[in-house]
């Protein structure tokens, strides 16, 4: 009876033996329909954003973060979490990142997980945006963070369908817009005329002046006993910033290295004058063939000083040694890629982010392929002992395994130690 009275007061009628409820006009509905529309406050957000891909498909969703129009290459990332590290990874410059994990934003954003000082990616594409944050480290929500960093986001789109399209057709360029004045045809034209291949994206994310890096992994997060023993080594490493992630520098520092970071175009002759114990060629965005100046730098340094390349640095080293690189169909982006160390058979769960790879068959005699990606057999690491060079196509500083790949830093330390002994 109480339910029936409450429903009558709300203008509802309940049919007995049925679960159908019929909405009747309310007593105060004498206002015009136009006036009523201004009084209605919907408890949900309407679609206000479009993602138009170069294949002609249009995906409508809801915006969060910044507004406007951006054009970039769409790639998918299979990580379950770590979206803040992804947002601040300079290697994503020129790309929209689609998260295959459907629920994003529940851990918020904190000040300790930044991999660089800026967000370089074009935008974030997700299925479901969490409406609450549950994390003791969080200081703001993901939408607040993206708005402050001027990064666009779109949610309530079918990320599973888009991912399948990218897997079948390869990475696609897309235009993301909240601008209702732009037609679908205009956005499609923007996507089809934008090009990422052949662009120098490194210069836009690199530092402009050399600086000293002094931070190591905080004691509460340190997990390596070897890193704890390395304080007395005192190796000096020059790190070329092609878009370096902070945690790479932290791990090197934790292994006892003094680090000087230099811009991507810093002359190799100036680095050699510093007489460092080793040189790091960092990760970075885009096509390694588009930065011949970086390849020349790697050529000039390699053989004189022990070198360690990571991701972009790995690809540049491959080219510098005489090999070639190629653009993959949709690349590797995620925190769950299995890699096998050929010599030991050990399998590492790795974090990866790259659209280009080294062609193993193109490498000259003396260069050893040390790691392979178990998903597709692509080259994931090389070594050239005669030239005191090693590199990995994945991120040893990340912790998806959680620490499977961290011993790579110890191998670099051993290489510098052997060279110093000679």
Backbone dihedral region for residue 388 (phi beyond 0: left; psi -120 to 50: alpha; all else: beta): left
The bridge status of strand 235-241 relative to strand 257-263 is parallel
In terms of Cα–Cα distance, which of 164, 205, 163, 238 is closest to 412? 238
Beta bridge partners of 235: 257
The CB density around residue 263, as the number of other CB atoms within 10 Å, is 16
**Residue 392: helix, strand or coil by DSSP?**
strand
Beta bridge partners of 50: 60, 177
Is residue 397 annotated as a catalytic residue, yes or no?
Answer: yes
For the chain, percent helix, then strand, then coil, each to nearest 5?
25, 30, 45
* From 120, 332, 354, 395, active-site residue: 395
Is residue 395 annotated as a catalytic residue, yes or no?
Answer: yes
**Residue 244: helix, strand or coil by DSSP?**
coil
* From 119, 257, 311, 379, active-site residue: 311
- Max intra-chain CA distance, the chain: 93
In the block, which residue shows the tokens 């062609």?
A: 359
**Residue 182: helix, strand or coil by DSSP?**
coil
Q: Alpha-carbon distance 188 to 200, whole Å? A: 24
Residues labelled as active-site residues: 311, 395, 397
């Amino acid at each position: 009876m109480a339910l029936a009275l409450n429903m009558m007061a709300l203008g509802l009628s309940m049919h007995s033996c049925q679960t159908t409820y019929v909405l009747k006009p309310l007593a105060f509905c004498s206002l015009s329909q136009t006036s009523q529309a201004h009084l209605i406050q919907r408890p949900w957000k309407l679609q206000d954003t479009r993602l138009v891909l170069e294949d002609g498909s249009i995906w409508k969703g809801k915006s969060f973060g910044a507004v406007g129009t951006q054009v970039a290459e769409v790639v998918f990332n299979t990580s379950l979490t770590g979206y803040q590290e992804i947002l601040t990874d300079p290697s994503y410059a020129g790309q929209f990142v689609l998260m295959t994990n459907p629920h994003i934003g529940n851990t918020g954003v904190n000040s300790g997980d930044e991999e660089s000082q800026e967000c370089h990616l074009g935008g974030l594409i997700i299925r479901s945006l969490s409406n609450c944050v549950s994390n003791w480290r969080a200081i703001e929500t993901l939408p607040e963070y993206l708005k402050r960093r001027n990064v666009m986001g779109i949610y309530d789109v079918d990320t599973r369908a888009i991912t399948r399209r990218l897997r079948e057709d390869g990475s696609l360029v897309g235009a993301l817009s909240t601008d209702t004045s732009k037609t679908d045809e205009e956005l499609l034209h923007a996507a089809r005329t934008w090009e990422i291949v052949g662009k120098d994206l490194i210069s836009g994310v690199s530092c402009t002046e050399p600086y000293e890096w002094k931070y190591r992994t905080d004691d509460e997060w340190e997990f390596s006993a070897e890193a704890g023993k390395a304080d007395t080594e005192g190796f000096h490493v020059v790190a070329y910033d092609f878009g370096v992630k902070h945690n790479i520098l932290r791990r090197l520092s934790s292994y006892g290295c003094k680090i000087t970071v230099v811009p991507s175009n810093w002359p190799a002759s100036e680095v050699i004058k510093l007489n460092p114990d080793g040189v790091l060629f960092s990760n970075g965005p885009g096509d390694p063939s588009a930065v011949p100046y970086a390849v020349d730098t790697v050529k000039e340094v390699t053989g004189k000083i022990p070198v360690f390349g990571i991701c972009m640095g790995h690809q540049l080293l491959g080219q510098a040694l005489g090999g070639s690189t190629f653009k993959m169909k949709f690349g590797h982006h995620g925190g769950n890629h299995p890699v096998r160390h050929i010599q030991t058979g050990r399998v590492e769960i790795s974090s990866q982010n790259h659209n280009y790879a080294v062609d193993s068959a193109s490498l000259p005699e003396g260069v050893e392929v040390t790691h392979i990606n178990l998903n597709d057999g692509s080259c994931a690491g090389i070594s050239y002992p005669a030239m005191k060079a090693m590199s990995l196509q994945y991120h040893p500083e990340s912790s998806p395994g959680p620490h499977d790949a961290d011993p790579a830093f110890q191998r670099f330390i051993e290489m510098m130690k052997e060279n110093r002994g000679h």
